[in-house]
Structure 1
Amino acid sequence: MTSTGTVRLEVNQDSGGKVASLVLDNPTRRNAMGRAMYATIPDLVAEVDQSPDIRVLLIRGEGREAFCAGSNIAEFRDHRLGDAHLGYDELEHQAIDALAACRVPVVACIRGACMGGGVGLALAADLRYAADDALFSVPPGFLGIGYSLDSVERLLATVGRSSATELLLTARRLDADEARRIGLIHEVVTVDRLDEVVAERCATIAALAPMTLRAARAALAGRPDAVALTDACFHSADLVEGISAFEQSRRPQFGNR
């Protein structure tokens, strides 16, 4: 019987509602992504986009064994052979694009396996923090499928041509330290401290001016709205608050306006 799994959105109350978690929940298959799971993500990201309070979206896998072991191979015979792959790939594409275009910064918290489509999801995040037990691989060559062109482009932009070529043409596994060395992840943390450190990083991001971060992310992505978003910062109440806080030697309280 195929385990389809679910994806759910949780607002972290310890953050004062400023951090939400997107949880990939299919632990019997190491959080492998099924069609229904991919299809859920755009609507959940839209909920985050519509929230006036959420400042950071954290993506993680359920349990301690895996972030995401890729797409659910149990669905491939019915949904990825021949032209059937087009509908499947579109669901995956829409999910990853929704994460990449999210209104707030996206942080990936990675422990255990991060393979194939899991790497694609992680690459859609702005920041990636991994436990020292994390393993990374891009193994479509073991199955004979084509890897998402968008994910190839993100991998190339993240780790450079040399490392991207090796990952795609050898399908070998990287441990967390090597993934950090090539720039696939930003920081390696011991397993027992991962949640604590990621919570600290998210709290740091959540305390910054949201409009400034939105403009910076647009500029980094080369989006055409980057100029307008940057200009909007100079007309914002948050800039007035930032200047006042500096003058008064206190922490700013940004209102995202």
Structure 2
Amino acid sequence: MEHPIMVPPPLLLDRDGPAAVVTINRPERLNAVTFAVFARLPALLAEAAELPGVRALVLRGAGTRAFSAGADIGEFAAVRTTPEQAAAYDQAVLAAEAALAGFPMPTIAAVHGYCYGGGGLALACDIRLAARAARFAITPAKLGLVYPLRATKRLVDAVGPSRAKIILMAGAEYDAARALSFGLVDEVFDDAAALDAGVRELTALLASRSAVTQRAVKETIARILDGVSADDESHAALRAAALASPDYAEGVSAFLERRSPRFG
């Protein structure tokens, strides 16, 4: 009797201390992202958000060669040929990115090796940390593509309009040091081991802080980037909810008692 060949899932969900870890698990394809991966990611992130004790999310690629080579162009002829297919594909990409951007806790992209293409998953994370050997490129000009406006806006928000034009029009590769100078990444570590240690240190720090504040910060900054520039009823409600929260009571008590806060 023949045994079936077990194919590992292209997305994995694990725990590492206070962090949920989502891994793009296609190392043989440099973790290139398929339509199925984009379509699966929102539900997987919803699962991650419900894990007990999780206070942050880490997104990474399997293996040592790549965070992700971007969208799997090899499947385009099958899934992205007609206008209808292209629209469905783009919707899946936008939904995956929106699920990352809207995750209720801090999100960190841990980038090693290649971080290519237009999937935009790293840019949809709150924070991007990279190993020094990481390489970055966004390449629509090599394919004759135009990315969705929301995905393009995330790049503009990160690096500014002029640099975004250069990155998108030229499709050039950048090392981690230049990506840091552009604002594509927030911190660079010497190697993969140092990157992993840095990710764990940051997730532990984030887990020790107020989740109420962190959720409000994510929402507030997203609204600022969408053009809101003054306090309004929505922001007043966020602030009022924080004042009424157990986190605020614990934070004030901890300060007065000269101890570290113990947030729930």
TM-score scaled by length of structure 1 = 0.92
Cα deviation digits, residues 154-194 of structure 1 (max 9, x gap): 00111001110000110011110000001111001011311
Report how far residue 52 of structure 1 moved.
5.1
| 8 Å CA contact 1:218, 1:225 repeated in 2 | no
Quick one: which amino acid aligns to residue 235 of structure 1?
A
Aligned pair 1:88/2:97, yes or no? no
Gaps spanning 5+ residues in structure 2: where?
A: 1-6, 225-232
99-108 or 45-54: bigger deviation: 45-54
Write the distance in 2 (CA, Å) between the matches of 1:236 and 1:253. Answer: 13
| 8 Å CA contact 1:30, 1:65 repeated in 2 | yes
| 8 Å CA contact 2:24, 2:60 repeated in 1 | yes
| 8 Å CA contact 2:118, 2:140 repeated in 1 | no
| 8 Å CA contact 1:4, 1:34 repeated in 2 | no
Cα deviation digits, residues 110-137 of structure 1 (max 9, x gap): 001001134x101111110000011111
Pick aligned residue for 2:252 from 238, 243, 246 = 243
Question: Aligned to 1:93, what secondary structure does the other structure show?
Answer: helix
1:73 is matched with 73
Write the distance in 1 (CA, Å) between the matches of 2:146 and 2:262. Answer: 47
Write the distance in 1 (CA, Å) between the matches of 2:8 and 2:73. Answer: 11
Write the distance in 1 (CA, Å) between the matches of 2:52 and 2:9. Answer: 29
Write the distance in 1 (CA, Å) between the matches of 2:234 and 2:53. Answer: 22
Write the distance in 1 (CA, Å) between the matches of 2:235 and 2:189. Answer: 33
| 8 Å CA contact 2:127, 2:186 repeated in 1 | yes
Quick one: which amino acid aligns to residue 99 of structure 1?
L
Where in structure 2 are the equivalents of 1:1-257 lying within 5 Å?
6-12=10-16, 15=17, 18-51=18-51, 53-83=53-83, 84-118=85-119, 120-191=120-191, 192-222=193-223, 225-255=234-264
Report how far residue 82 of structure 1 moved.
2.5
Cα RMSD, aligned residues only: 1.7
TM-score scaled by length of structure 2 = 0.89
Report how far residue 4 of structure 1 moved.
9.6
Question: Aligned to 2:121, what secondary structure does the other structure show?
Answer: helix
Write the distance in 1 (CA, Å) between the matches of 2:158 and 2:236. Answer: 23
CA gap 1:160/1:204 in 2 versus in 1, 3 angstroms? same
Report how far residue 57 of structure 1 moved.
0.5
Write the distance in 2 (CA, Å) between the matches of 1:243 and 1:219. Answer: 22
222-231 or 90-99: bigger deviation: 222-231
Write the distance in 2 (CA, Å) between the matches of 1:227 and 1:19. Answer: 30
Identity %, equivalent residues: 38
102-111 or 73-82: bigger deviation: 73-82
Write the distance in 1 (CA, Å) between the matches of 2:253 and 2:190. Answer: 39
Quick one: which amino acid aligns to residue 184 of structure 1?
L
Write the distance in 1 (CA, Å) between the matches of 2:48 and 2:235. Answer: 20
Question: Aligned to 1:141, what secondary structure does the other structure show?
Answer: helix
Write the distance in 1 (CA, Å) between the matches of 2:239 and 2:130. Answer: 31
**Rg (Cα) greater in structure:** 2
Write the distance in 2 (CA, Å) between the matches of 1:31 and 1:231. Answer: 43
